[in-house]
Amino acid sequence: MAQDAKPMIGYLATGILVLALLRFGQAIFVPLVFSLFVIALVGPLQIKLQRWMPQLLALLVTLSLTIFIIVAVGSSVTWGLRKLGQWLFVNARRFQDVYVHWSEWLEEHGIGIAGPLADRFDVTWLVGFTQGLAGRLNSFVGFALLVFVFVMLGLLEIEDFGKRLRSPALQPQGMKMLHANREVSKKLRRFMLVRTFASILTGLIVWAFAYFAGLELAAAWGAIAFTLNYIPFLGPFVATVLPTLFAIGQFDTWQMAVAVFVGLNLIQFLIGSYLEPLLIGTSLAISPFAVIFAVFFWSFMWGVPGAFIGVPILIAFIIYCEESSGAKWIAVLLSARSFDNSDKASI
């Protein structure tokens, strides 16, 4: 019994050390993982273009398209937060008055915890916080540059790397790894395609809802909802709470704030819990608990980038476990449905 426990203790210790390394070395590992994610998405495009044009020209086209998409998505949330920050700067007094009014109401009903804070409350922190978010989104120059370098080098080597995996010296592990890489690339592309469609639809519906509800900055709320929808759970939560707090200051009634909160949550629920699973189907049938854990665990490890990349990491992890006979049981546990050897279930 003691001998059986020794390997488990060794695996556990190794896992803890690896996680500690990922945590403290996030300045390198986060750009590296992001670059692998990007390569998995655009690598097939690079290979197809190389059949019709020189490798460097294909690389230029692939990188240009990738940068354009990333900049377009990032600019939408930056623009939305900047518009929100400008509005808050002009209308900061509204939130100050609302806070004082609610503080007095709470004191009248015997809740005195808000009273002592009323004199020290300064709503400008909300303006600074919002503008700070937009500023941070514009300050990822070093991170983006490192990812760009990794992606460029990876795309240049992707075809040669595939040839090395096919070499007899690496068999059978080489073909297993090659098959796993193809599966990861295919499933990540499908995941991001559905995620992008759902994000665009969410942004449009949120914009329409805010417009007809009379909420100011409707276009900004749509842009913020579109971008934050790429971050599972945490993104939609922020995209719901921010307009609700905004509605409190604009309408000065809790009934309207509740209506905005309920409406936005209904939109997020219908798209995130019904439409996306319907579009993805069984090809990404991952346990909901595993998805939630991945998002919060990697957000704890790497912050907002970890929350975004958590689900792709989980997808790749499950596929690699499926390819290993010794770790296939992990893929079964993390999948939303079981599978046998003759039917490699969709993960």
Per-residue confidence (pLDDT) for residue 344, from 0 to 100: 43
pLDDT of residue 249: 73
pLDDT in tens, 111-155: 554 444 444 445 555 555 555 555 555 556 667 778 888 888 888
- Region 199-215: what's the mean pLDDT? 91
pLDDT tens for each residue of 295-344: 889 988 888 888 889 889 999 998 888 887 777 888 888 876 555 544 44
Q: Flag whether pLDDT at 206 surpasses 70.
A: yes
Please tell me the distance from the alpha carbon of residue 196 to that of residue 301, in angstroms, as a whole number.
Answer: 25
Tokens of 158: 């992707």
Cβ-contact 47, 155 below 8 angstroms: no
Which residue intervals of 214-303 are DSSP H helices?
Answer: 218-228, 234-251, 254-269, 276-280, 288-302
Residue with tokens 């996680």, as numbered in its chain: 19
Per-residue pLDDT at 25 exceeds 80:
yes
pLDDT of residue 100: 62
The residues, any chain, with a CB within 8 Å of residue 191's CB and separated by 6 or more, are 280, 284, 311, 312, 315
Q: Which helix or strand (DSSP H or E) is residue 157 part of?
A: helix 141-165
